[in-house]
């Protein structure tokens, strides 16, 4: 597979731990409202915490893709509420063993 510049940029963004502070705040504000909490609870109950009843690989793939979106929402809410939780401190100039 040839990696295009666009794909390389997507990989860099995808594996970056969190979106910017403004987007994280939007997640927190959106899902802290009564309606946001109702929507999130619905997604957890009806999609995230359910197993796929099908043995068809395409159905399983679709179900897991839907769950991935919910996981992203949960991670962004958690990151907004707990800044720095997922940051790994590094020591500059440390010797590699």
Task: Pull the structure tokens for residue 89.
Answer: 């401190």
Higher-pLDDT residue of 7, 35: 35
pLDDT digit string (tens) for 11-39?
666 555 668 899 999 999 999 999 999 99
What 24-30 contacts at long range (C-beta under 8 Å, 24+ apart), as own/partner pairs, is 24/76, 24/79, 24/80, 25/80, 27/73, 27/76, 27/77, 27/80, 28/77, 28/80, 28/81
Position 95 in a domain: no
Using an 8 Å Cβ cutoff, are 90 and 38 in contact?
A: no
The parent domain of residue 41 ranges over 20-80
Using an 8 Å Cβ cutoff, are 19 and 76 in contact?
A: yes
pLDDT digit string (tens) for 80-96?
998 877 666 666 655 55
Position 92 in a domain: no
Total structural domains in the chain? 1
Specify the pLDDT at position 65.
95
Helices then strands, counting H and E runs in the chain, come out as 4, 0
Position 60 in a domain: yes
């Amino acid at each position: 597979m040839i990696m295009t510049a666009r794909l390389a940029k997507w990989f860099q963004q995808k594996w970056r731990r969190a979106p910017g502070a403004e987007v994280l705040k939007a997640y927190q504000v959106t899902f802290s409202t009564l309606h946001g909490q109702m929507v999130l609870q619905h997604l957890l109950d009806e999609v995230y915490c359910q197993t796929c009843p099908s043995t068809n690989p395409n159905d399983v793939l679709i179900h897991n893709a839907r769950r991935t979106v919910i996981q992203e929402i949960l991670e962004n809410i958690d990151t907004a509420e707990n800044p720095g939780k997922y940051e790994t401190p590094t020591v500059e100039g440390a010797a590699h063993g």
